[in-house]
Chain A
């Protein structure tokens, strides 16, 4: 099974609401990265959080990391229709190997 597993698989919200996605993993990591993918396109890097960090912000994005629970969350505040996409977490080991989950599909309704 995947190292990183996102939850929920699908999320549908209204514009202006907040969206929270979770990622769980199994083994030790160096860092965890969140990506966005629009349908049929490449992955766009959103944010990287290192294993010694607990929280990071970037614009409307807030990422937390709990290494004791081996989990991370991505919060998108004040969502917009343009945020509609699939979101993936990738865990990166100390050897530089990255593993992705199957993603959360976010739909933001105008």
Chain B
């Protein structure tokens, strides 16, 4: 158990729809990152939030957006879903005292776009 929980665990959406994925960080962690993992590939960095501000973004279009709340929980929103958005979405939390901290992952949310 990493203390990072994600919901929902599985969901199916139709192309063009919007989706919101949620993540509760490990207690005391102030940094959350989101990753997309397609089948057979490694996690791809989407973005990171530190104290409610975006703190870095990977190579994802603006229709991928996020929020971090005062309790450090987080949401990932994806608009105008495309078939290629089908993947495992992973949330990870860490404590940004310095960058030498362990990153803890949740079990992920499986998104299927049909």
Residue positions of A touching B, CB distance < 8 A: 2, 4, 30-31, 33, 35, 40-45, 48, 50, 88, 90, 92-103
Contacts and interface: CB of A to CB of B under 8 A. Distances in A.
A43 B43 contact: yes
Contacts, number: 72
B106 interface: yes
Contact of A33 (B35, B42, B56, B102): B102
Contact of B107 (A4, A41, A92, A93): A41
Interface residues of B, number: 31
B42 A88 contact: yes
Which label, helix, strand, loop or mixed, suits the secondary structure of the B interface? strand
Nearest to B57: A97
B99 A94 contact: yes
Contacts of B4: 42
Contacts of B110: 40
